[in-house]
Amino acid sequence: MRGFVPTPSKLVDHMVSLLFEGRIVGSEEHLLDPGCGGGAFIKGILRWSAAARTQLPHITGIELDRQLALEANSQFRSNPHVSVLEGDFLRTRAC
Ligand SMILES: C[S@@+](CC[C@H](N)C(=O)[O-])C[C@H]1O[C@@H](n2cnc3c(N)ncnc32)[C@H](O)[C@@H]1O
């Protein structure tokens, strides 16, 4: 892939805190990260959740680029709260 730049973690942390601040996140909630790249926002959610001692929602990342999807998948493979799919998020069906 040409020109891929992941979102810097400091910016990710700021955006994630804007999204979650003051919210009670339940483990039954489901969060979609469309175009997750190598997992920058998934990592940010894991950091936020650990710092805030909240439950983790189930997070699904979908990434079109095979290498990035593999990269994300290898990072979160052992985390039961995270699924990474390779594909087009506009065409991926929930099941
Ligand atoms: C700007 S990058 C952001 C990656 C990551 N979210 C981050 O912030 O570091 C956009 C990503 O979306 C992916 N993407 C673009 N269109 C997509 C689609 N229709 N389905 C899945 N992924 C897509 C690209 O391959 C790329 O990795």
* Mean pLDDT on 7-14: 98
pLDDT tens readout for residues 16-75: 999 998 888 888 999 999 999 999 999 999 999 999 999 999 999 999 999 999 999 999
The protein residue with its alpha carbon nearest to ligand 1, atom 14, reads 35
Residue 10 lies in a domain: no
| DSSP state for residue 55 in the 8-state scheme | P
User: Which CATH number belongs to the domain containing residue 31 in this structure?
Assistant: 3.40.50.150
Burial of residue 89 (CB within 10 Å: 0-12, 13-18, 19+) is middle
Residue 63 lies in a domain: yes
Residue 60 lies in a domain: yes
Q: Which of 43, 63, 67 to mutate to test the pocket of ligand 1 (most atoms within 8 A of CB)?
A: 63
Residue 20 lies in a domain: no
Give the SS3 label for residue 16.
helix
pLDDT tens readout for residues 69-94: 999 999 999 999 999 999 999 998 76
Name residues contacting ligand 1 (CB within 6 A): 4, 6-7, 34-37, 40-41, 62-65, 68, 88-90
pLDDT computed for residue 93 by the predictor: 77
Residue 44 lies in a domain: yes
Question: Total structural domains in the chain?
Answer: 1
Residue 16 lies in a domain: no
Residue 92 lies in a domain: no
Confidence of residue 95 (pLDDT cuts 50, 70, 90): low
Q: Residue 74 sits in which domain range?
A: 26-86
CA 57 vs. chain centroid, Å, equals 10
pLDDT computed for residue 25 by the predictor: 85
